[in-house]
Structure 1
Amino acid sequence: MTSEDDIRVGFAYANVSNPEICTNDCWPGKYGEYKTSTALQYDTFYRKVEAWGYPALAKRPNRSNEIVAASRSSDVSFNNSGPMTVPKPVELFKLHLGDLGKGEKPILPKEISYKRAITDYLKEMVLTVPAEFNNQAKAIMRQCVTDAGLITKKLEFTTEPEAAAIYCMKFFKEQFTNSVGSLFLTVDIGGGTVDLTKRKMRDKHTLDEITESTGGFCGGSYVDKEFIKFIEGKIGENAMKQLKQNNYGQLQYLVQEFCKRIKLPFTGNPDDFKEYELDIEEVCPVLKQYVHGVERTILEYDEWIIAISFDSVKAMFDPVIEKIVKLIDDQISKDGELISSIFLVGGFSESAYLQTIIKEEFSSRVLNISVPVQPIAAVVRGGVDYGLNFSVIRSRVLKYTYGVLVNQVFSYLTDPIDRKKADGRIYKFFRMATKGSQVNVNEEFSNFFKPSVERDTSLKFSVYITTAQNATYVDEPGMQLLGALTIDLPDPELGFDRLVRFSLTFGQMEIRADAKNVKTGRSYATTFELNFSDD
């Protein structure tokens, strides 16, 4: 079972005959950590992967090569024919699966599609998915896992907040046993994303989802971005631009040093903080060749030391933590029901400062706020638990409204003229299940339909989804075609007197469509081939 945010990935596993869960803590270039970087280093012509994970990003500077670095960047290698450009690492590719605008998605090399990057990464290691992943993203991930040759049987999904809730239920077993019927909130705070979900203990062993999962892009990596902005203010915009372009590995090493020496130990208490002196000549010596003007004058006077104060670090954390607090407050305030516990999981949840702020903000409204042991591994371990026992999840909340296209005769009294088809018909949306509804696993939603044209010999059910709770037409903004099921409809002489029972069943993490001809008893079923583009 693997878990990803846009920054790091980890995995856990168990044998069904001996279900002791093991969490991987051995990665290339790293030991004793539960996740590694989501990054790939390709060769010159993008033919193969030369490094993945942490080694693909952070490169410790070699001071003996500093003079050489001034004449050629670390992204240039040489062969008998002369210099060859070594590609920058490919990273953050998983963000292409999220619901981000095109301008917000990371730029990938033209030689590498995000689907290939995901497939290549999975080939290098051996699935949970963020809450914001839609059915299209799951279909792409399923195909990538298949293309990577990792599975021979069906791939099952669970969401990251769901897996985190399962892990917390097991870890805080005694507390959950005494809390049957009460509500709790899991907050998965990773590197790039924060996922939240409100659940209820149905009994000692099963969970109900109460509100729709929510999330945001405000994880721990955004503190790193604030640090980079801080450094840019000291060295100048052009120097930072050249460092990113020419020596990305040293930039990543600089960030890793910040995380290890400043970010992780930061408690938010001034008494615990000792001003840190960042030695550019030691941590990122190549920067000296890029800094000019007044910034160079200041840094030379300070002997290339950048002092990082308590207030500076706090200013890096606060904008990110404010967004996380807002997400938690929104979930707690939904429906006005009391929350008995908040469980914080994910890598950034280990931040002492973040924990302090959350407890200060919500301890008067929530009795218990806890962080389990190994919170960074909560999702992968909970995902394995789910794989061993699917029945632990009894209900989920729908993120979409589901319905089918119905072909009706156009009415000048009720229908807009611009939606009239050339044959005098109009395509409307018949709602079958509504966004925000709590549905039990394998719960069925059904209705009866008849042919729209009297002598049709087949009937096509086109299933659409929308984030709107109410919709009338299938061409409304936000409406997406999920899939279609076509059935034979014999006996055209019977005209409209041919009923078909159509149903949608919401299984573990998939949707099944069934259609039954009431007269003949013949049944049809499918799980959808999802429609998606290669963007």
Structure 2
Amino acid sequence: MASKDFFLVAAIDFGTTFSGYAFSEVTEFQADPLRVSTCTWGSSTNSVMSLKTPSSILFRPEKTFDSFGFEAEDKYSNLSLDNMHRSWYYFRRFKMMLYNSKDVHRSNLLKDETGKEMSAIDVFAASIRYMKDHLGDFLSRRSTQIRDNEIRWVLTVPAIWDDAAKQFMREAAEKAGIDGKALLLALEPEAASMCCKYLPVERTETRIECFSPGSKYLVLDAGGGTVDITVHEVNPDGTLKELHKANGGPWGGTTVDEAFLDFLSEILGADVLEAFRDRHRDDYIDLLREFETRKRAVKPDSDSRVTFKMPISLHELYREKKKAEIRDAVRDHPKYGGKITCAGDKMRVEADLVKDMFSKTCADIVQHVRKLLLNPVTKGTSTLLMVGGFSESPMLQDAIKKGFPDKKVVVPPDAGLTVLKGAVIFGHNSEMIVSRIAKYTYGMKCFRSFNSAIHPPERMQIINGRKEVPGCFDKLVEVGKLVSPDKPVGPKTYFPFENHSGFTIKLFASPKTDPSFVDEEGSIPIGEVDVDCRDDKGSVTSADVYLIFGGTELELKAVHSDTGRETKAKFDFLG
């Protein structure tokens, strides 16, 4: 879709903890790239107002969509009060499935909060469809008349995801009713980088210094589930090139939530906490909501106790199971005695205990960034750009600043919206990122003539009277090398087998720089694509194959030898 073919760019940031959308018209972008509109979300049960809504979704017992976000949380809580929730399907923070799964397929199932299963792609598609339809209603209320074919859609994905997870999200979006030809995938730290490029600093017209030509900066995108990191250098023309392959890990804000639950489990017992989650789902959701609010206010210099409201149902459940009171358990606890007090439904916790809930996560992030900055290719990186919802935490900000006192640490306003707004900018100008670093060594599966000097004899086979070695790794791109969507890799000429009209390219990836065989340890099959070699008259010929690396999605281009006809195809990474 060329820029003249769309009137508006709409981006969906589908996060582990929270999701949202934003948009801008072409004329708005041309006047001011930061003029991006967002939606305000709210809960009907309390006064919570947010620019994002929880990534929670509710399906009816027959597996049809019911609600998303705050509405899903509130309704599921009400169902729990009436003990009617067990036949419904409720999913929260399910995006991590695509990070944790090493084998992503269209047939993957997701378990809901009570262990019932649904098709994962149906859950993701329903979530994206909700955001898409919500935007349509929002535009209608603004009396903005825009047809579906005038919208370019952008969907954010973590840069550390593999190709199968990216394709899964694309197919989920298409299943949600978004035209694949109008859809772009934006890597989250890159989107954030593009947004920050336009941000003024301290309300002046001076742009962030790290975006001057020749500058190197690290983008730390700390979200709910993962921390996504990339390092960029600014080219003389203002475009960006990646210096180090995207990396990161599962150190998002939800790990602090898990530390809080572990803390409660130590005090109350795992059996009590599990029963509380199962039998009082409404209060359990409220408890997590309150902690989400409390943890954002925790500061490294805090010395006053933090107050948590403990639901009455939790006190009653503890009394039923332990034949004792929570206040007594707190008072007599060998580890926490004297550091926690209980009064009524309030639990007051010493500041240091709450700060400790951040310590492991922050330490893991600092250690990873430190290791990354020791790499020779990142030498000269002067600025650490912190974006994502978890980057708004004073605890994480303090850990990064203390861990890297020689670096300038920049946290833009509304860091949690930086990726979302940047995704809109990316939709208007996706050519800003001109090159990336290959995450793996990519190659095709091929046959080679047997060479006793390099091939193990047990791999040799006699094929059509010739000594051949199947399963060899035909390297195309080496891990760590610069790749660009403007410079396809190739060509390599392939011929179909006898009596075939085309051939199948099977692509493999390896963490090694020079793998010999596709079945070596660490090598993984990542996708395949069929290439048709027939010309306009049905005659079969060869094709020159190019691989297009460097974009957010891997593509293939085949040029037919006789006709010069060009075909493009994307790999099927889901199998």
- How many angstroms apart in 2 are the aligned matches of 1:236 and 1:26? 35
Deviation string for 1:425-446 (max 9, x for gaps)?
3231211112211122321111
Deviation string for 1:219-253 (max 9, x for gaps)?
11111111111111221111101012222332121
1:5 deviation in Å?
2.7
Give 2:3's aligned residue: none
- How many angstroms apart in 2 are the aligned matches of 1:147 and 1:8? 21
The answer on whether the counterparts of 1:188 and 1:196 sit within 8 Å (CA) in structure 2 is yes
Give the partner amino acid of 1:159: L
Match of 1:377 among 417, 429, 433: 417
Change (3 A) 1:360 1:404: same
Match of 2:505 among 439, 447, 462: 462
Please list, as runs of the form range in 1=range in 2, the aligned pairs for 1:16-27 lying within 5 A after superposition.
16-19=26-29, 20-27=35-42
Match of 1:504 among 547, 552, 567: 547
Give 1:116's aligned residue: 122
Deviation string for 1:42-74 (max 9, x for gaps)?
22x243233321343368989xxxxxxxxx963
Please list, as runs of the form range in 1=range in 2, the aligned pairs for 1:287-436 lying within 5 A after superposition.
287-288=317-318, 291-293=321-323, 296=326, 298=328, 302=342, 305-335=346-376, 337-364=379-406, 366=407, 368-421=408-461, 423=463, 425=468, 426-436=470-480
Change (3 A) 1:277 1:499: closer
Residue 185 (str. 1) matches residue 215 (str. 2): no
Give 1:495's aligned residue: none
Residue 35 (str. 1) matches residue 39 (str. 2): no
- How many angstroms apart in 2 are the aligned matches of 1:297 and 1:308? 12
Q: Secondary structure, in 3 states, of the residue corresponding to 1:210?
A: strand
Deviation string for 1:71-99 (max 9, x for gaps)?
x963723xxxxxx8343621232222224
Change (3 A) 1:277 1:405: closer
- How many angstroms apart in 2 are the aligned matches of 1:291 and 1:265? 33
Give 1:149's aligned residue: 177
Q: Secondary structure, in 3 states, of the residue corresponding to 2:111?
A: coil
Give 2:304's aligned residue: 274
Query: Which range moves more in the overlay, 422-431 or 238-247?
Result: 422-431
Change (3 A) 1:334 1:254: same
Point out where structure 2 has 5 or more consecutive residues left out of the alignment: 1-10, 30-34, 104-108, 133-154, 201-205, 332-341, 536-540
Query: Which range moves more in the overlay, 177-186 or 206-215?
Result: 177-186
Match of 1:139 among 163, 167, 177: 167
Give 1:170's aligned residue: 198
1:25 deviation in Å?
2.3
Q: Secondary structure, in 3 states, of the residue corresponding to 1:219?
A: coil
Q: Secondary structure, in 3 states, of the residue corresponding to 1:89?
A: strand
Deviation string for 1:19-50 (max 9, x for gaps)?
2311222345476422221111222x243233
The answer on whether the counterparts of 1:198 and 1:331 sit within 8 Å (CA) in structure 2 is no
1:121 deviation in Å?
1.1
Q: Secondary structure, in 3 states, of the residue corresponding to 2:361?
A: helix
| Identity, % of aligned positions | 24
TM-score (norm 1): 0.85
1:281 deviation in Å?
4.5
Change (3 A) 1:139 1:257: same
1:474 deviation in Å?
2.4
- How many angstroms apart in 1 are the aligned matches of 2:211 and 2:359? 36
Deviation string for 1:277-314 (max 9, x for gaps)?
43435585664465414565715985555331112102
Give 1:57's aligned residue: 73
Q: How many residues align?
A: 503
1:509 deviation in Å?
2.5
Change (3 A) 1:411 1:291: same
Q: Secondary structure, in 3 states, of the residue corresponding to 1:17?
A: helix
Q: Secondary structure, in 3 states, of the residue corresponding to 1:128?
A: strand
1:175 deviation in Å?
2.7
The answer on whether the counterparts of 1:129 and 1:159 sit within 8 Å (CA) in structure 2 is yes
Q: Secondary structure, in 3 states, of the residue corresponding to 2:244?
A: coil
TM-score (norm 2): 0.79
The answer on whether the counterparts of 1:59 and 1:253 sit within 8 Å (CA) in structure 2 is no
Change (3 A) 1:439 1:312: same
Q: Secondary structure, in 3 states, of the residue corresponding to 1:200?
A: strand
Give 2:142's aligned residue: none
1:401 deviation in Å?
2.1
Please list, as runs of the form range in 1=range in 2, the aligned pairs for 1:255-266 lying within 5 A after superposition.
255-260=288-293, 262-266=294-298
